[in-house]
Structure formats: C-alpha cells, structure tokens
Amino acid sequence: MPKMCLEALKSKMSERDCEKLNAIANPKVQKFITESCELCNPERIFICSDSPEDIVYVRQQAVSRGEEKPLAISGHTYHFDGIEDQGRDREVTKYLVPKDDLLSKTLKQIEREEGLTEVKGLLKGAMHGRTMIVRFLSLGPANSVFSIPCVQCTDSWYVAHSEDLLYRSAYDMFTQKTEQSELFCILHSAGKMNEAMVSVEAEKKCIYIDHTKDTIYSVNTQYAGNTVGLKKLALRLTIRKADREGWLAEHMFLMGVHGPNSRKTYFAGAFPSACGKTSTAMLSGEIILGDDIAYFRSIDGECRAVNAEAGIFGIIQNINPNDDPVIHKVLDTPGEVIFSNILVKDGKPYWLGMDEKVPKEGLNFSGEWHEGKTDKKGAKIPHAHKNARYAVALRALENVDPELDNPKGVKLSGIMYGGRDAKSYVPVQESFNWEHGIIAYGAALETETTFATIGKEGIAEINLMSIQDFVSISLGKYIQNNLEFGKKCKKSPIVFGVNYFLRDKEGKFLNGVKDKHVWVKWMELRVNKDVQAIEGPTGRIPEYEDLKILFKEVLGKDYKKQDYIDQFTIRVPENLAKLERVEKFHKENVAGAPEILFDILNQQRQRLLRAKKQFGDYISPDSLKKS
C-alpha cells in the first residue's frame, strides 16, 4: 500500500492524522475507514494512535462535547444514556444472515441484504458535522496467540473514551504487521442527539452483526453494551472464530484464588448479568484477572486462559464499602472512572443500594429528577437506574493480577456456572467429570431475567452457559465444542455449579451476600485435593466440618449445622422438574443437540429417583454422608 493518505479521506484529516493512518498498511483497514466515511459523512476524522497526547485528547473531547461531565473527585466523570437506552437490547440486535442460510432459531436474525439496506440507511449521513474517531484495539493480550485485532469507527467521544479504559490499545500492533487476516470492524453512530448529548431516536435503534464479514453496525444508541463493539457484540464474532480454530470464547470472569502455602489457583465463572459474576470476580483478598469475557486454548495439553478485555464495565447497584471494598475504593478515590445512569447532586454520584442517604432531587438519566417523578406511563423513576454502570481499567484495582497481559495466559484449574435458581440446586457442588459439569451445570444453567437486559424482569429461562444470547453458531455445535475441548486437555478444569439465590419455602434467601467467598474457597481446596466431598445425585457437595472451618477463617463467623442442612438438602421434586424444563428447552430450541446431553441428563434423573426411593423427597446431606 503506498504511504500516502487516501484521497477520499484527505480533506477530512489533518496532516498528522494522515500520517498515522498511512502507517497502517492493511488494505482492509483502509477500506473499512474509507467506506465508513463515505456512508456517514463526518466533518472530520481523528485517528487515535494511543499516544499519551491522543488518549488525553479523547478524554478531553468527551467532556468538552458534553457526552461526559466531571464529578467532584478528580478523574471521575458521568454519562447519561437515553431513558429508553438503558441496557443491552435483545430485540434490535440481529444477525445478518445470507439467503438460504439460518442460525439457531433462538437467535434474532434478518436477511443480510435487507438488514444492510436498513442499517446503512440509518447510518447514511449520521456523522454530518461531527468527528469520526478511529480506535485500534486488541481483544486478548496484544501480539499473542490470543490476540484479535479490532478497529472501531464512532462519532461518540464517550464510546471512544470507554474503549480506552476497557480494552488494550493496539495501534502499534497494526503498524507492525502488514496484514491482519482476521480483523473485526465496528461502525457506530449515536444518531440524532439532544442538547444533553443523549441519543433521542431509540425507536430507530439498530444493532446488526454481519458475521460473514466480521463487521458490526450500531446506530441510535449510546449504552456501552450496544455501542462498544468489542464487548458482547464482538463476542458473537469471536465464537465463530473459536469454532473454526478449535478453542473457546466464553462469557466468563477469571480470578486467582489464594490457598494454603501461598498457592494461587485460577478459576473462570459464567453467570448471567446481575447474578453475582463481578462480585465473585472481585472478592476481597483474592486476585482479579477479568470480569466478563475469557478465551481458552489448549496449549501443550494445558488449559490456558486470558481476559479478552482490560477493564470493567460493571453494574454499580448495591456496591458498598462493606460488601465490595475493592471496587468501592476505586469508586471513591481520584482516578479515571466513568459512571453512567446514576444520580448526580453537587458533583457526587448516587446509586441504588449504596448505603448512603440519597438526595431528594438531582440530575439523572431522565433529566432533572425529584423524588416521586414518573415516566410517560406513570411509573416512578428511581434516582438511579438498576443497570447503572461504572467503567474502569483493571489496572486501577489494587488486587489486579500481574498476569493480566501475559501473552501465554494462565493455567485454568476450575470453572463455575451460576444463575438465579430459587428452588433446586444447592449453593455449591462439584461435577462428576467434565462432561457432567458442562451439561448439568452449563447447558442446564437456569436463571431469571434481570434489569441488565431490556424487557420483563423475573422471568425464568434457560440461559445456556450464560452465553446463549451471543452464540452465532448452532447451540448444539457450541455444546459439542465445549465437550470436545475437555478432551484436548491432559487435565481439564474441574467444573462446579454454584447458586447464590436458593430460597426457603417462605421465599427467604438461604445464602448470605458474603457466603460466596466460602464456596469459592471450598472449590479451591477441592481442585487441589485438600478436602473430601459427599457424593450426591446432582454432584459432590461439601462436608459440614470443612465449611464450618472456612466460615470461621474467611468470614469470622460460626456456621450452624441447621444452616448447612437447609442449604445442602437435595430437593428431589424440584430437581426432577428442572430436568424436565432443561430437556424440553434443548429438544425444542437446540438444533443438533448432542445425544450425550440427553444421556447425562437422564443419568442425573435416575440418580435422583434412586435417592428418592432410599431417602424420600428431601435428602439431608447427613443422610448422603452415611450412605
């Protein structure tokens, strides 16, 4: 490629920006930027080279343009999304599928040419009078076997700033290579905005994924889950890449758990949004490597894992200094943090469940807010949204793992799956083997819909491995890929099921908020063969004496035997009903579901029926231990 600024872009870039773009020889990059410019017609193009000056400029523009506003604490800013743009939008997020092709019927899709016409029609001229910011980023550590190069064009300085906190800069990686054979491209425009710099045409929101070209289009939205393309939107493309290449892209956190004698054991965990994922990843005293998306590869027969990201876009509801000291410290001290959709009063952010007195008026995502304010339908508007967020670089956390950017990743020893299951599964249990864990805990993961996704809350649903919304291959193939991956490892990670939301007959939670730390510590001991377990019909469960010790060591409190019995009693009728729901889901929705899935579910049913015959409908863990 000649080292000259493309003629089509020359009039919209400074000489310095031309130089920065010409340093990248990849024709696919040049083509994508040129076509994005021709479609969206920005007044100016800014190429971010990741230099300190460019990074500072992006942040300054986000503030000066009004997409973010400063808070009282130095480095902290806040951003508001539109009142109808407060979460990941399932309904308008669709795959562009060529004619005569079809993805899983559980996924929303539209014929490719029809969809391209629609989204490009919305993007046409959308950046008129604005600057198109071009960011070069890497999913996974840069210059690694895990690296996936990405380029995003956006007219939102807030989006560009968020990407700087959440992902690894990769401009240098793009200039070092003449060709990135696999490149993810993202084009976003906030669309029409009001004086508060908020997207106002939510009814024209459109988020389309062209998996045939590894390209994502997003328009008329600002919420980061819909606009920061490297997040869940790119995960859909990554899953296809992993399928082709024989590795796994997962909706999981990564953490290091401390054990005896300075031991550190790495775990991954899959939880649907607002089910305890980030709070588990950031347990006080442990090490965080990532809170959302992980890549797994078998390298020399060992399962190695990396965080696809380098920051956290976390739910802020209920964060307080007692339950979440690590992240609360970051949110309360100087440093770069973007708050979104909280209440602001006198330069201070307020969110739901923060354990502080909340002002009766202020500014929030609905505009000027006062206690009792209602929306168009007459519903009361809370002072902050349930899905209010914070964005922060992982490096800002005092317990970030030093292996964050290790190009070889870390050795993964355990995987946990957890959802909102009020009636059936015990708080923690270990699978009998890799296949049992993937099927009985992963493919059978059942939860309730939450505020993190637009739509009704509290609806029970199967959320297969907490990744169902993002799987762009057949769900049956995805399950099979997970099963096959375990065979590639000389010692596959041990799979656990966790459930922080088990309730008693009166609807009271049987787990305390901090109890999860005990379950995690028990899993660390099990992985390293330091404690025994009781064989149950749905998995191996802890012994009381081990948990009693852990509750005292970890939480400094006594663990009552009755609490143990209440938590770990096997509820046979509820578990049998769960199996029925899981089987029905897979038969009706999972094309190509592997036969082993139904075999493993049936084996679990038979174990439950045998246990019922011997012990009755509700089986105390003491009865299982004696048998």
Residues catalogued as catalytic: 275
Q: What is the CA radius of gyration of the chain?
A: 25
CA atoms within 13 A on the CB side of 330: 24
**How far is 366 from 344, CA to CA, in rounded Å?**
12
Residue 64 belongs to what H/E stretch?
helix 52-64
**How far is 296 from 310, CA to CA, in rounded Å?**
16
Nearest to 157 by CA among 226, 88, 56, 89: 56
Nearest to 40 by CA among 116, 113, 122: 122
Query: What three-state secondary structure class fits 195?
Result: coil
Q: Using an 8 Å Cβ cutoff, are 350 and 356 in contact? A: yes
**How far is 218 from 212, CA to CA, in rounded Å?**
17
For 317, residues 6+ apart whose C-beta sits below 8 A from its C-beta are: 274, 351, 352, 353, 384, 386, 387, 388
As given in the structure block, the two tokens for residue 543 are 């012994």
Tokens 């994508």 appear where? 32
Map 162-185 to HEC letters: HHHHHCEECHHHHHHCCCCCCCEE
Q: Using an 8 Å Cβ cutoff, are 136 and 177 in contact? A: no
**How far is 75 from 110, CA to CA, in rounded Å?**
42
Distances (CA, A) of 495 to 343, 414, 432: 40, 6, 8
User: Within 306-369, where are the H helices?
Assistant: 325-331
**How far is 107 from 539, CA to CA, in rounded Å?**
31
Q: What is the dihedral angle through the alpha carbons of 475, 481, 483, 484, rounded to the nearest 10 degrees?
A: 160
DSSP annotation string for 439-486: IIIIIT-EEE--TTBSS-SS-EEE-GGGTGGG--S-HHHHHHHHHHHH
CA atoms within 13 A on the CB side of 147: 21
**Strand pairing of 618-619 and 348-350?**
unpaired
DSSP assigned state of 520: H
Residue 430 pairs in a beta bridge with 496, 540
